[in-house]
Amino acid sequence: DGGITQSPKYLFRKEGQNVTLSCEQNLNHDAMYWYRQDPGQGLRLIYYSQIVNDFQKGDIAEGYSVSREKKESFPLTVTSAQKNPTAFYLCATTGDSNQPQHFGDGTRLSIL
Amino acid sequence: QKEVEQNSGPLSVPEGAIASLNCTYSDRGSQSFFWYRQYSGKSPELIMFIYSNGDKEDGRFTAQLNKASQYVSLLIRDSQPSDSATYLCAVKPPGSARQLTFGSGTQLTVLP
């Protein structure tokens, strides 16, 4: 099955803890993106990567980190520096910057 | 001024009516325009994309683009209760290989 897999579906973070959200794709897409969505809001870009071993900050990168060691994988770490992490996190990919982005099913992160 | 603005909604239409969703954008050089549908608690799914001025039809959906006036709209004909969702407008800014800019969405309810 081709697609974008995000895991886990739900995640809870304790104070002072770092947590990592997984995004895997088998679409052979070069570009991958992480967005954050707060209730009733649009999507805001956290980080993006257009090629392996390279990534760029988006509009709200503070308190987050990423890596892109493989084309298929773009994990997002929510660090303890992110003071308001409760949100719906969405991973997207595209094979061409002019083409639409397609999304995974998302991870919902809450604070314990 | 927000970069991408959508009519705030919520919007309610009776079943069988035409639903009209509007989006304006601030960057005149924007090139690509996308409409996503997002059901409550789910990730966005692509409905339509449009690159050129004019209309683009796909089944019950029509996207309309007017670059001179900097707006893009989505018409849903013969609206069904299953069309009830939040519709997100996304715009690709000029010279930006990196990302889409999303509006905050319009919530549509189709009343049976």
pLDDT of res. A41: 83
Contacts of B100 in chain A (CB under 8 A): 43, 101
Smallest CA-to-CA distance from B102 within A74, B93, B94 is with B93
The set of residues, in sequence order, having a beta carbon less than 8 Å from that of A110 and lying 6+ positions away, is A10, A11, A12, A13, A86
Report the alpha-carbon distance of residue A90 to residue A107 in Å, rounded.
7
Per the CB < 8 A criterion, the answer to whether A62 and A51 are in contact is no
Q: Which residues pair with A22 in a beta bridge?
A: A7
Per-residue pLDDT of chain A (112 residues; tens, 9 = 90+): 569 999 999 999 888 899 999 999 999 999 999 999 998 888 999 999 999 999 999 999 999 999 999 999 999 999 988 889 999 999 999 987 678 899 999 999 998 8
Contacts of B45 in chain A (CB under 8 A): 103
Tell which of A5, A9, A43, A47 to mutate to test the B interface (max B CBs under 10 Å).
Answer: A43
Contacts of A102 in chain B (CB under 8 A): 46
Mean pLDDT, to the nearest integer, of B28-36?
91
CB contact under 8 A, B104 and A41: yes
pLDDT of res. B2: 65
List, for residues B66-103, the tens digit of each pLDDT value: 999 999 999 999 999 999 999 999 998 877 666 788 99
A41: nearest CA in chain B? B104
**A-B C-beta contacts closer than 8 Å:** 54
CB contact under 8 A, B103 and A42: yes
A104: nearest CA in chain B? B43
CB contact under 8 A, A98 and B46: no
B32: nearest CA in chain A? A98
pLDDT of res. A2: 63
Smallest CA-to-CA distance from B89 within B49, B51, B40 is with B49
Q: Three-state DSSP class for B41? A: coil
N-to-C CA span, chain A:
34
List, for residues B44-70, the tens digit of each pLDDT value: 999 999 999 999 999 999 999 999 999
Report the alpha-carbon distance of residue A105 to residue A6 in Å, rounded.
6
pLDDT of res. B1: 57
pLDDT of res. B50: 95
Report the alpha-carbon distance of residue B52 to residue B33 in Å, rounded.
9
Q: Three-state DSSP class for B62? A: strand
Which candidate from B4, B31, B97 shows the least CB-CB separation from A50?
Answer: B97
CB contact under 8 A, A48 and B104: no
Report the alpha-carbon distance of residue A27 to residue A74 in Å, rounded.
13
